[in-house]
């Protein structure tokens, strides 16, 4: 186990947020965080990444609380090059120049590393976002809607990278609207609906327990009144 949520909650003035939830993230697993708009996915991620402070409950870390994080969107300084952005973040994360270059190679940006980000397409900026998230030593990697802007080739490469993280013992949590993508990768699943955790556990076990054929059916079953 890497982290345990105990009655974790966050309520906002508009009434939205996250109602008390209990779950664990296991070491060396991939967990899909599924739910529609306003389900509470972003709130949960903000709590796990210490961007927000919970209004109730707690997170109990059983390993280092250092998290590597890929936001759903990043406004990179457009006047900087990809290499300069990686160097800036790499200096903060104490990552060598060689590792920075290796990550740019992995996401297909090494050859354009000296181009300014303002020249990048949305997909290229998303791949730079992915590269920066892979830097560092945090054992928990959180990816918020990582497929946004990626074409089918890079979605396939993203899957490979997520599996590689799991194989080296890291824990991956990712949010997505693409339930078929989640089903291909996830060991475990957290389904949120209107701030409530409506399903939580090993994906194959949940499918059997609820007599559903796939994650989409499971999700629909849990959110339908």
Q: 181-191: per-residue pLDDT in tens? A: 999 999 999 99
pLDDT of residue 77: 94
Q: Look at residue 204 and tell me if it is in a domain.
A: yes
- For residues 172 and 189, membership in a common domain is answered with yes
- For residues 105 and 55, membership in a common domain is answered with no
Strands (E), 82-225: 140-144, 171-176, 188-193, 196-202
Q: Which helix (DSSP H) or strand (DSSP E) does residue 91 occupy?
A: helix 82-93
Tokens of 221: 């079953």
Strand order in the sheet with 3-11: 17-25, 3-11, 56-61
Q: Alpha-carbon distance 145 to 143, whole Å?
A: 6
83-132 pLDDT per residue, tens: 999 999 999 999 999 999 999 999 999 999 999 999 999 999 999 999 99
- For residues 23 and 41, membership in a common domain is answered with yes
Domain of 211? 3-66+138-223
Q: For residue 15, what are the CA distances in angstroms to 38, 58, 99, 162, 195?
A: 11, 20, 44, 34, 10
Q: What is the pTM of this model?
A: 0.95
Q: Look at residue 72 and tell me if it is in a domain.
A: no
């Amino acid at each position: 186990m890497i982290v345990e949520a105990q009655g974790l909650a966050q309520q906002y003035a508009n009434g939205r947020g996250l109602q008390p939830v209990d779950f664990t993230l296991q070491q060396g697993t991939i967990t899909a965080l599924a739910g529609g708009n306003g389900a509470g996915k972003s709130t949960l991620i903000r709590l796990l990444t210490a961007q927000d402070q919970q209004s109730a409950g707690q997170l109990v870390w059983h390993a280092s609380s250092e998290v590597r994080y890929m936001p759903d969107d990043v406004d990179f300084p457009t006047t900087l090059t990809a290499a300069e952005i990686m160097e800036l973040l790499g200096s903060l994360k104490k990552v060598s120049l060689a590792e920075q270059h290796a990550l740019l190679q992995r996401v297909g940006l090494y050859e354009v590393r000296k181009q300014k980000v303002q020249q990048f397409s949305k997909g290229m900026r998303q791949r730079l976002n992915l590269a920066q998230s892979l830097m560092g030593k945090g054992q928990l990697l959180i990816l918020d809607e990582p497929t946004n802007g990626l074409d089918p080739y890079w979605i396939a490469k993203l899957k490979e990278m997520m599996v590689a993280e799991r194989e080296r013992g890291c824990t991956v949590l990712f949010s997505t609207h693409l339930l078929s993508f989640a089903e291909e990768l996830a060991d475990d699943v957290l389904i949120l609906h209107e701030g409530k955790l409506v399903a939580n556990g090993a994906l194959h076990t949940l499918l059997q327990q609820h007599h559903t054929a796939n994650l989409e059916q499971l999700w629909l079953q849990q959110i339908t009144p």
